[in-house]
Structure 1
Amino acid sequence: MPFQLPDALATSDDKPALSLLRRYYGDAVTSAGAAAGAAFDGWDSTGTRTADVDRFTADDLLAITFLSVRVPPRAAAVLLRDRAAELGDLLAELGPDRDLVGEDEPLTDDCWPGWRLQTALRDIPGIDTTTATKLIARKRPRLRPIWDKVVAKVTGTHKHQWEPVRVALREQHHALHERLVHLHGAAGLSAAVTPLRVFDVIAWREGKDRGW
Structure 2
Amino acid sequence: MPTTLATDSDAAAIAARAILDTDAEALNALLTAIGPDRDLVDEPDPLGPGWPAWDLETALWALPGIGRTKATKLIARKRPRLYPIWDSVVMGVLGTARAHLNPVREALRADDAALHHRLLKIRAEAGLPEEISALRVFDVIAWMDGKDRGLGQRADQGR
TM-score of Structure 1 vs Structure 2, range by shorter chain: 0.7 to 0.9
Contact 1:129 1:159 in 2 (8 A): no
2:13 paired residue number: 73
- 2: CA distance between counterparts of 1:187 and 1:99? 20
Percent identity for Structure 1 against Structure 2: 55
2:45 paired residue number: 105
Shift of 1:158: 2.9
Which residue of the other structure, out of 81, 97, 110, is the alignment partner of 1:142?
81
Larger helix fraction of residues: 2
Superposition pairs of residues 47-196 of structure 1, within 5 angstroms: 72-108=12-48, 110-196=49-135
State the Cα deviation string for residues 41-86 of structure 1 (Å, max 9, x = none): xxxxxxxxxxxxxxxxxxxxxxxxxxxxxx8122111111110010
Contact 1:107 1:162 in 2 (8 A): yes
2:5 paired residue number: none
Aligned partner of residue 107 in structure 1, secondary structure: coil
State the Cα deviation string for residues 138-196 of structure 1 (Å, max 9, x = none): 00000001111111222212332111111111111111111111110011112221100
Partner amino acid for 2:61? R
1:206 paired residue number: 145
| Stretch deviating more after TM superposition (134-143 or 151-160) | 151-160
Q: Which runs of 5+ in 2 are unaligned?
A: 1-10, 152-159
- 2: CA distance between counterparts of 1:172 and 1:207? 23
Structure scoring higher RCO (CA < 8 A, sep ≥ 6) equals 1
Runs of 4+ that moved beyond 3 A: none
- 2: CA distance between counterparts of 1:94 and 1:116? 10
- 2: CA distance between counterparts of 1:119 and 1:198? 25
| Stretch deviating more after TM superposition (154-163 or 136-145) | 154-163
Q: What TM-score, normalized by structure 1, do the two folds share?
A: 0.64
- Count of residue pairs brought into register by the alignment: 141
Aligned partner of residue 72 in structure 1, secondary structure: helix
Partner amino acid for 1:118? E
Partner amino acid for 1:140? R
Q: Which runs of 5+ in 1 are unaligned?
A: 1-70
Q: What TM-score, normalized by structure 2, do the two folds share?
A: 0.84
Partner amino acid for 2:44? D
